[in-house]
Amino acid sequence: MLLRRPRPWVVPLLLWLLTCVLWLPWLGNVPLRDWDEADIARTALEFAQAADLNGLLPTRWGEPYLNKPPGLHLLVALAIRTGGTHEVVLRLVPAVLSTAAVPLVVLIQRELALQSRQSSPQFRGSAAGEGLATGLILMTTLPMARHGRLLMLDGAMVSATLLLWWGLLLLRRRPRRGAGLAGAACGALLLLKPPAATAFLVVGLATTLLAALPMEGKRQRKTLLQQWRRSWHTMGCWGLLGCLPGLAWHGWHLYSRGDAALLMWGRQGFGRLVQVLEGHDQGLAVPAFELLKGGWPWLLLLPLGLQLAWRRRRQPAGRWRLAILAGCLGVVLSLKTQLPWYSHILWPPLACVEGPALARLWRERRTGNLGIPLLLLGLVLLLATVLQALALVQGLPLWPLLSAGVGFVASAIALTGGWSVRWALGVMVVGWWVALLCFWATPLWLWELNETWPTHAVGHLVRTLPPEELVFIQGTDRPSLSWYGGRLIQPRPAQAPRPHHLVAPGEQPLSGCQLQTLFPPSPQPGRQEPVSLQWCGPEDRTSHEQAPQRSPEPPPQPLAWRTLGLPWSYRGVRQPSQASCTGGFSSYCRSHLCYFFYPCCFGSSLMPISKVSQPGMRACICGEPVSSLTKMKHGCPLPRHTTKHRATIGLWPYPWGFLV
């Protein structure tokens, strides 16, 4: 009995579920990073705290926020009202929106195959195979998944852009539905990044027109143009209806804030085309480095993918893939201001080019010389695994390197040894998929945090200070410090009012200041340095001068829960009851059960704080018993009379623990 062909929505749905399984775990095992994440979190929090959502006008620390529209901020605000301000809650909304990119590229490839088959009966591509291969490539592209997991606009922007391009492709067969989807996508882009809506709409229209018009046959071209001419008013109405929410918000913003509302279109938008902002003038080196750094192992398929697209240049699929890649490259490379995440839009076009190459290898069972570079890549990863295991190098993710290296080497041996090509490609995909899943369990997936001193712990300590006491930072602004500190912490002015607290890098107090608390650097590799909280005021203040002596801790008790023994499990602290936190953290800690999902002692990525003195507070460090008051984890105190345990927590007993 022959198997029935699955329905069209089955493959996109399964790939989306698989993408959620891969992209959503361990969203909260690292703190928020500076700028985008901290700024979006603060704006969303102010939306959540306002009774009327601030009239849909974003603010940050009480001042008008003119950088970006509040499309993502409003969704995160709703999540904050539901689940609080934990990193998991904050990152979950953009991560889920980013996962929509995978089924959308599958639908785009399917539509391209249908149009190519209609215009060219000799078209040999497989709609299902090319769509599935493209979805797998985009799902397992490291920068695509990593940036999609962050509290940033780029992941949601890519999903909205792909929806726009899919809607434009549908104009040929289903004008009303295509115009509605394209209009809704434009409205979403207007609420995320307005200049991007203009750029990607122009690129999408030009690419769709180039792909839809037949290369040969004036009669076919004339018929298509007449069809569009008859339905242009219908398409325009549906497209305008979809854009209406975005256009309405920008009109309201302009009416409420006047000329200041044009900043997101001018200096923060199209101004990046003509001038360098904030010293980001590295030019073409930034996107080139991002592509070479994050495109593996799928960059090995790019030459074959470009060759196939050029061979099909007389078919809609080949023309669209070449044109969309060239258009996105033109948009990214034309920017005078270059940041690493500006090249995020390039990954879907690259996946659309590489997907047919992977599908052809699977279909024809011929791989050429793919096994040799794959073997070299796998050997390099295994060598790095051995060096990390022998402690000859520090800071490399052991389990991700091992999984990827074994997968690549096994696949290369199968390819060069004449074994099953499909088995070899399957091993490569599965090995890389598991490697990415293990990578999220380490704090290294957000490696920008290791470039400077961490703000998470010192921010939580600043939160315990009285609101009327001033706090400054020595050096440049750190939005993440303000977020975790619960107050706006600005750079210290030349004539700072005294007395005040000062957050400064380094171990030595500045002139006229006393050392209150010293935070040692993290063991993770990078340019981290110690950071201290200093008191710049009268010298008779004694609340933080001396730390009490260490007192013996009770021996750890056996853990009642069995662990899963997974390599990505975390060391945590189990509390015997639902005790609430003391000190200034009751609003942060009291909403969580004190065993497992406990913010004070969860996650092993941050170092403990030393030389901390807070009367009447106990502290903990994950995986080790410590004395009260001398060390804290995440700057969060434990309740009194708490028994600490050394434990390895897997996915249970908290059902969503793998998200943390």
If asked whether residues 422 and 463 sit together in one domain, one would say no
The verdict on residue 396 lying in a domain is yes
* 175 and 310 share one domain: yes
**Domain end call among 448, 475, 499:** 448
φ/ψ bin of 165: left (φ > 0), alpha (ψ from -120 to 50), beta (otherwise): alpha
pLDDT in tens, 48-75: 998 877 778 999 998 999 989 999 999 9
Whether 406 and 519 map to the same domain: the answer is no
Long-range residue pairs from 143-146, CB within 8 A, at least 24 positions apart, any chain? 143/290, 143/293, 143/294, 143/295, 143/343, 143/344, 143/347, 144/98, 144/101, 144/344, 144/347, 144/348, 145/22, 145/23, 145/436, 146/294, 146/445, 146/446
Q: Report whether pLDDT(641) > 50.
A: no
Residues 511 and 585 reside in one and the same domain: no
Query: Is 299 contained in some domain?
Result: yes
Contacts of 206 (CB under 8 A, 6+ apart): 323, 327
301 lies in the same domain as 329: yes
The residue-averaged pLDDT of 257-271 equals: 82
Low-confidence winner among 282-291, 321-330, 529-538 (lowest mean pLDDT): 282-291
The pLDDT value given to residue 121? 62
**Percent of the chain surpassing pLDDT 70:** 74
Q: Does pLDDT of 604 surpass 80?
A: no
Judge if 321 and 381 occupy the same domain: no
- Residue 657 pLDDT > 50: no
Of 400, 427, 448, which residue constitutes the final position of a domain?
448
Q: Decide which of 165 and 525 is more confident.
A: 165
Asked, for residue 267, whether it belongs to a domain, the answer is: no
- pLDDT single digits (tens) 118-143: 776 666 656 678 899 999 999 999 99
Q: What is the DSSP track for 186-253? A: HHHHHTT-HHHHHHHHHHHHHHHHHHHS-SS-HHHHHHHHHHHHHTHHHHHHHHHHHHHHHHHHHHHH
Q: Is residue 442 domain-shared with residue 467, that is, in the same domain?
A: no
**What does the pLDDT look like over 73-118, one tens digit per residue?**
999 999 999 999 999 999 999 999 999 999 999 999 999 988 888 7
Cis peptide before 70 (omega within 30 of 0): no
Where residue 277 falls among pLDDT bands split at 50, 70, 90? low
**What stretch of H or E contains 640?**
none
273-282, 297-306, 350-359, 402-411 — which is least confidently predicted? 273-282
Q: What's the domain range around 321?
A: 10-117+125-211+227-253+278-364
Average pLDDT over residues 220-239: 72
Q: Are 428 and 458 within one domain?
A: no
State the pLDDT at residue 551: 28
Q: 482 with 382, same domain?
A: no
Residue 192 belongs to some domain of the structure: yes
Q: Is residue 217 part of a domain?
A: no
What per-residue confidence (pLDDT) applies to 180? 92
**Pick from 79, 91, 57: which is nearest to 264 by CA?**
57
Per-residue model confidence (pLDDT) at position 4: 60
Residue 542 lies in a domain: no
Rounded to whole angstroms, how far apart are CA atoms 321 and 245?
31
Q: What is the pLDDT of residues 343-357, one digit of tens each?
A: 999 999 999 999 999
pLDDT at 173: 84
At residue 556 the predicted structure's pLDDT band, cuts being 50, 70 and 90, is: very low
Q: What is the pLDDT of residue 314?
A: 85
Do 396 and 499 fall into the same domain? no
User: Is pLDDT at 402 greater than 90 in this prediction?
Assistant: yes
460 and 439 within one domain: no
* Total count of domains within the chain: 4
- Please tell me whether residues 167 and 145 are part of one structural domain: yes
- CA 344 → CA 142, 205, 513, distances in Å? 11, 20, 44
Average pLDDT, the chain: 78
- Asked if residue 551 is part of any domain, the answer here is no
Q: Is a pLDDT exceeding 70 seen at residue 215?
A: no
**pLDDT category, 480, cuts 50, 70, 90?**
very high
What share of the chain has pLDDT > 90, as a percent?
A: 44
Q: Would you say residue 272 lies in a domain?
A: no
